[in-house]
Structure 1
Amino acid sequence: MLLDFHQVDAFTDRPFAGNPAMVYRLDAWLSDELMQKIAAEHNLSETAFLVKEPEGWRIRWFTPTAEVPLCGHATLASAHVLLNVFDDPSEVLELNSLSGPLRVTREDGRLALNFPAQPPSETGATVELATALGVDVVDALSNASHLMALLESEQAVRDCKPDFAALARLPYLGVIVTARSDDYDFVSRFFAPAIGLNEDPVTGAAHCSLIPYWSGRLNKLQMRAFQCSERGGELWCRLEDDRVSIAGYARLVASGHLLVG
């Protein structure tokens, strides 16, 4: 069996930056076991699989070790592939997922994801969290998936050197660190060793929590954000009631074939 793949760097307009995702547009679903093996073979933070079902496109996302319920950068990458490789004429892409219906639209040369807002609730900073992150934590909040640590400065976010084994023991899919920024409205980083990702370069799903949080703190509906990983990525953010808009650029960097069986 020969499967076509396309690799896209998401949340950047240049190669070798942003967050790389692998995208497969399939005629029919493969087994869960095979899709997980394919994701492990590529060993990127996410591999996305798309199938056109009777009710429309369905998308699923796999890290090298697990399927996840929501992923921003691989959705952006998938939309870029559908629109620019396969010339989908849709003005609005509708994607069904484990997190419900998602929409992707063109916006000022970028692609904008419409995702559910996931505002975090106050949790409170703990010594355990500060020790695991290796930095002072000003405050901590959480939702069902992510723990978010507010740090004192952008430099503290950039300097953070976590104990990944300690983070993996926390009862969350991932841990966000964030702070105000001079050049952007806010910056962040995202660690998810519990699902095989020590650090994710740019994380759209984390901004489902970051956008409502910083919107309330800054009293702004529209914001620019930067995820200051080694690769780095820029996001244009907007709060829309119980949804968030997360926009960014994408760049196709590779296409090829995977031989299976």
Structure 2
Amino acid sequence: MKFELYQIDAFTDKTFSGNPACIVPLNEWLPDEILLEITRENAVAETAFFIDKGDKIHLRWFTPETEMDLCGHATLATAHCLKTILNYPKDTIVFETRSGELTVIAKGDSYVMNFPSRMPIPSELPENIKQSLNILPTEILKSRDYVLVYDSEEQIKNIKIDRAKFDEINLDPGGVIVTAKGNTSDFVSRFFTPQASILEDPVTGSAHCSLIPFWASRLEKNELIAEQVSKRTGKLECQDKGDRVLISGKAKTYSAGHFWID
């Protein structure tokens, strides 16, 4: 069987930055183990598989280890693939996902994603995570992911993870966000996933489901500019809408091709 495969860098307008995702259109669902095998072969943080149902797009996201409940950068990449490569006729794309219906609106070369809000609440930090960090946070919160708040952007950039300790905890499907006020943006962040083949995710849209309501409340503003300060970096335009958040970004196609399965 022959399948199409696209690799797209999300939350950037430049190749070799942002977060790479692989996109695979399907006519019908393959067994989950095959979807996982494809994702492992692609060797990126997330592969998105979708089936065009006409009025809606059925979308699923996989890491090399598991199916995810929500993924921002692969959703943005899928919207970019649909609009710029596959000639999808509508500017409003409705995705049917494990997190309910997600709407993405294409506006020029940007994509506005409407995602659920996940305000984090105060929490305790597991000892394994605490021991894995070279710099300890000033605040600890949690929603799906742990949200660790720091005093400065410089601290975020200088955080190092002791992977042996970090991998002792299983947060499936969540991870650990570290965040602080930004120097030239409203806030910055990084995202780490224990027991994952890729420890640090370059740009994590789903993490901003918690970061946006937190920083909107903390900074008393509903429109924010965010930067994920990984090595690849990424820019996100954010809006707090109460029980929803809007996350906007650009994307760049890296490659297009095919693969075969016996």
Pairwise same-fold verdict (TM > 0.5)? yes
Number of the residue aligned with 2:68? 68
Matched, 1:239 2:243: no
> How many angstroms does 1:132 deviate by?
1.4
Q: Cα deviation per residue 1:109-128 (whole Å; 9 max; x = unaligned)?
A: 31011100011011145665
Number of the residue aligned with 1:131? 131
Q: Kindly report the root-mean-square deviation, in angstroms, between the aligned alpha carbons of the 2 structures.
A: 1.4
> How many angstroms does 1:54 deviate by?
6.8
Q: Cα deviation per residue 1:131-155 (whole Å; 9 max; x = unaligned)?
A: 2121121011001x21111112101
TM-score, structure 2 normalization: 0.95
Give the alignment of 1:5-16 within 5 angstroms.
5-16=5-16
> How many angstroms does 1:25 deviate by?
1.0
> How many angstroms does 1:55 deviate by?
6.1
AA aligned to 1:39 is T
Number of the residue aligned with 1:35? 35
Number of the residue aligned with 2:44? 44
Structure 2 residue matching 1:226: 3-state secondary structure:
strand
Number of the residue aligned with 1:121? 121
Structure 2 residue matching 1:39: 3-state secondary structure:
helix
Number of the residue aligned with 1:56? 56
The number of aligned residues is: 260
Structure 2 residue matching 1:177: 3-state secondary structure:
strand
Cα distance in 1 for residues equivalent to 2:24 and 2:128 = 40
AA aligned to 1:153 is S
Cα distance in 2 for residues equivalent to 1:130 and 1:152 = 17
After superposition, the Cα gap between the structure-2 partners of 1:53 and 1:106, relative to the gap in structure 1 and judged at 3 Å, is closer
Identical positions, percent = 39
Structure 2 residue matching 1:194: 3-state secondary structure:
coil
AA aligned to 1:61 is W
Structure 2 residue matching 1:82: 3-state secondary structure:
helix
Number of the residue aligned with 1:252? 253
Unaligned runs of 5+ residues in structure 1 are: none
After superposition, the Cα gap between the structure-2 partners of 1:62 and 1:127, relative to the gap in structure 1 and judged at 3 Å, is closer
Q: Cα deviation per residue 1:19-51 (whole Å; 9 max; x = unaligned)?
A: 000001111111111100000001100000001
After superposition, the Cα gap between the structure-2 partners of 1:40 and 1:126, relative to the gap in structure 1 and judged at 3 Å, is closer
Cα distance in 1 for residues equivalent to 2:200 and 2:258 = 27
